[in-house]
Amino acid sequence: MQQFCEQLLNGLNLGSVYALIALGYTMVYGIAKMLNFAHGDIIMVGGYTIYVFMNMTGHPLIAVAVAVVFCVLLGITIEKVAYKPLRGASPLAVLITAIGVSYLLQSLAQIVFGSAPKMVKIADMGVLKIGSLKIQNYTLLTLACSIVVMIALTLFVKFTKIGRAMLATSEDKAATQLMGINVNNVITVTFAIGSALAALAGLFYLLKAPSISNTFGSMPGIKAFTAAVIGGIGSIPGAMLGGILLGIVECISYKIPAIAAYTDAIEFLILIVILLVKPTGILGKRRSEKV
């Protein structure tokens, strides 16, 4: 029971990181109607920025702040340079460009930092003991931060002008434009928010496993993307639900010796089953086809 509780907490921790990444995927998909395959690599860039500024200043808060700003700028640049020229082109072309950007970021990181993993020591957080239950403090920090970020994001989308513009764009791009909303700005803001969340996810990932290489972001990226699809791509609560679900499944399956080695396979199997049973994901809305 105690072990189960610990794994559940670990799962929540991992799941909230996945949820943060999945939010980036799902918002970009909802608004720009594209799969941003380079999103996972923005996590990696965030991680490396934290690594560089931890070594330079030794102050975690400065490093995280710089990482968030840098990732936001990077996200906007990628959107302007690689995706904006392709607005209105076939979805396949955009998808392939996104893969190209992901490949580009990975090889750039390898050229700059080498392929050997780097250790990043951010802060020693210690352990909280409740009875016999041990809780890592970073787990609590991750959970608290993720919950705050998710609430803030939900409020932002519901109650601010630009947030509502985002909702409108995801509903109907052409009509939104007719209402005098600059859709290009909305898309830029979406990429900025997604990249900031990715940088935070990079931080939480590093707290859990303090080693970074140029493929640091690809697996969490793919997993979070799976989470976004399971929850229903385009839906913000869906991304949170899918992320946490996947995190818990991963942590529990990892502790069962018989299936531990197949953890990744199980997660993708869940994805395939969900697509078979409910193609739009758990909370996804069904969109009727237009002629």
Partner 1 sequence: MSLKNKSLKYYYSTIIVAAFGLLSVILSMTIGLEKSTIYLLEKIVIAVILAVSLNLVVGFLGELSLGHAGFMCVGAYLGGKFAVIISSSLGNSALTLILSMLVGGTVAALCGILIGLPALRLKGDYLAIVTLGFGEIVKSIFQNTSRESFGGALGLETPRYNKDELFIYAFAVLIITLLVVQNLMNSKHGRAITSIRDNEIAARATGINVTKYKLMAFIISSFFAGVAGVLYSFSNYNIQSSKFGYNYSIEILVMVVLGGIGSINGSIIAATLITFINTEFATILTGNLAVLQNLLYAIILIVIVIYGNSPALSAFREKYDIKKLFDKFKKRDPSIIKEDKANWNNIPTKIPMDELLSVDVSNNDQNLDSDETDKGGK
What is the nearest approach in angstroms of partner 1 to the Cβ of residue 37?
9
Nearest to 125 by CA among 210, 48, 24: 210
What is the nearest approach in angstroms of partner 1 to the Cβ of residue 230?
10
The string of DSSP codes covering 135-166 is: EEHHHHHHHHHHHHHHHHHHHHHHHSHHHHHH
What is the nearest approach in angstroms of partner 1 to the Cβ of residue 101?
6
What is the nearest approach in angstroms of partner 1 to the Cβ of residue 272?
6
Q: Please say which residue, 53 or 216, places its beta carbon nearer to partner 1.
A: 216
Q: Please say which residue, 208 or 278, places its beta carbon nearer to partner 1.
A: 278
Q: Please say which residue, 44 or 101, places its beta carbon nearer to partner 1.
A: 101
Interface residues toward partner 1, by CB under 8 A: 35, 82, 85-93, 95-97, 99-101, 103-104, 106-108, 110-111, 114-115, 173-174, 218, 222, 225-226, 229, 261-262, 264-265, 268-269, 271-272, 275-276, 279, 288-291
CA 176/CA 167 separation, integer angstroms = 10
**CB–CB of 249/67 below 8 Å?**
no
Kindly state the tokens that stand for 145. Answer: 């931060």
Q: Please say which residue, 154 or 188, places its beta carbon nearer to partner 1.
A: 188
Kindly state the tokens that stand for 98. Answer: 């996104």
What do you get for the CA distance between the two ends of the chain, in Å? 55
**CB–CB of 60/200 below 8 Å?**
no
CA 89/CA 72 separation, integer angstroms = 25
Q: HEC profile for 8-20?
A: HHHHHHHHHHHHH
What is the nearest approach in angstroms of partner 1 to the Cβ of residue 59?
31
What is the nearest approach in angstroms of partner 1 to the Cβ of residue 282?
15
Kindly state the tokens that stand for 102. Answer: 């992901």
Q: Please say which residue, 138 or 216, places its beta carbon nearer to partner 1.
A: 216
Q: What is the CA radius of gyration of the chain?
A: 19
Q: Please say which residue, 6 or 264, places its beta carbon nearer to partner 1.
A: 264
